[in-house]
Amino acid sequence: MFNFNTKQPKILVIGDLMVDHYVWGKCDRISPEAPVQVVNIKNESNRLGGACNVAANLSCLGAKVSICGVIGDDDMGKWLISELDRLCIDVGFVVPIKKRPTTQKSRILVANQQVLRVDREDNNHIDDELKNEILSMLSYKMNTFDAIILSDYAKGVLRDDLTKEIINLARSENKFILVDPKGSDYTKYKNATLLTPNKTEAMQATQIQIKDDESLKEAMLKIKKMCNLEICLVTLSEDGIAILDSKKKLIKSPTISQEVYDVTGAGDTVIAALAFGLSSGLDIFKATTFANAAAAVVVGKVGSATATLSEIISFLHNGAYANSKILQHAELETLLPSLREHKIIFTNGCFDILHRGHIEYLQKAKELGDILIIGLNSDSSVKKLKGESRPINSQDDRAAILSALECVDYIVIFDEETPRDLVRLIAPDVLVKGSDYQGKAIAGSEFAKEVKLVDFIEGKSSTKIIEKIRS
């Protein structure tokens, strides 16, 4: 589905390095000293957090990853380094500081519910000496990376001046630079390739209340202008990712349906997948499809915030669409960027009472390319075209029968009398119609690269079969 470059992308993550510490316990009583739960600890574990989780996601995808930030000269710092080493993440840019603790978020959970969080951290900006040391290291190595990710959690590493200098350095080397922003002032991220704010963060940064597509586009245009971004996008949680194209048109890349178990770390997965995709030669639209799929894999797991490349590809092929070739419009829109690697054939029809003529017509259509997509008239659409007595078979039954044909790849049901809007969405390489359309206007033909007319088998039609049965 995705034609990745054969080279292993080299990606540098810069930001706030954190440890997520989890404490699981049981509570059977309230303390006699204060109205609080008494938690009997049963288990504890550490996980990579903040910028470290972004790096872990990249490592799982197969990137060659380096990470830059600061840790304390303490046990948590040593654990963090050992865990990054285990994932083969280069820690040569990590600086230990004696008087600064490693950022640690401890979450106390009782019966799988978080009852308390305790943070150990120093949010003060790193000093000038350390800032200059980091910049010096990066200046020497910046040209070796394909992309840079700034993972800003406002813990003091990405101070304004350092952030601006890193972005300018990366752009001078023509590197992708992606930012997971923090706070309401985005000016320090000016000239980045893209930012990944969610809807709430975009509202805070622009002071625009996002309530519909129009206000969303207004906020995105403001962020794009404010930060002089090459690509402008906003993450929309279960609604996917919104992007402004080169003509400033708002395009939404929807999520792929998946049962959600744990959303922890989904944002880190999205920015990691975007950087991996762009560094591997995907355009932004394919990269967002890839990122949405990666996020879908992550939220479908419990207690895990990473997805491997094979899991994502498997999910797209076998998870999202395995049980049916029948797609909703949003699912088709998500899948289209990867389908465009192949020659797409489109045809449409009612296909009421499938017969030999239909099958040979579809087989001939498939021979014209790689992927055959059928636009299937809905029941209401068939009634408009054929009368109240049609269809004989419901749209679900007709779609199920068509999906059993080997030559058919995907089926999309549409309600309109013509498939013009669907053809515009798909923009197929070849639009196929029956030979009876010779000399007639064909709906949507202006959106296809080529139109082909295919001969029907004489005397074979659903209408004639129905008439024969009735007589």
The answer for residues whose C-beta is within 8 angstroms of residue 47's C-beta and 6 or more apart is 19, 20, 22, 53, 305
Burial of 104-129, coded b for 16+ CB within 10 Å and e otherwise, reads bbbebbbeeeeeeeeeebbeebbeee
Residue 368, class by beta-carbon neighbours within 10 Å (0-12 exposed, 13-18 middle, 19+ buried)?
Answer: middle
Determine the Cα–Cα distance for residues 43 and 25; give it in Å rounded to an integer: 7
Contact status, residue 122 vs residue 36, Cβ threshold 8 Å = no
Q: Is 268 a catalytic residue?
A: yes
Tokens found for residue 295: 């996020």
In angstroms, how far is CA 250 from the centroid of its own chain? 16
Whether the CA torsion 286, 291, 296, 300 is positive or negative: it is positive
Task: Write down the H helix ranges in 72-142.
Answer: 75-86, 128-141
Angle, helices 160-172/128-141, rounded to nearest 10 degrees: 10
Nearest to 269, CA basis, from 33, 41, 47, 53? 53
Place of tokens 């092929």: 317
Q: Sign of the CA dihedral 183, 187, 192, 198?
A: positive
DSSP code for 437: G
Cα–Cα dist 159/131, whole Å:
9
Q: What whole-number distance in Å separates Cα of residue 9 and Cα of residue 32? A: 57
Instruction: List beta partners, residue 450.
Output: 430
- CA–CA dist 462, 330 (Å, integer): 30
CB 309 within 8 A of CB 31: no
Binding residues for ATP are 198-201
Residue partners of 433: CB distance under 8 A and separation at least 6: 347, 442, 451, 452, 453, 454
Cα of first residue to Cα of last residue in the chain, in angstroms, is 50
Q: Which of 16, 146, 268, 409 is catalytic?
A: 268
234 and 242 Cβ atoms separated by less than 8 Å: yes
Determine the Cα angle at 327 with ends 323 and 333, to 5°.
Answer: 130
Q: Which residues are annotated as a binding site?
A: 198-201
> Tokens for 324?
């049916």
DSSP 101: P
Active site residues: 268
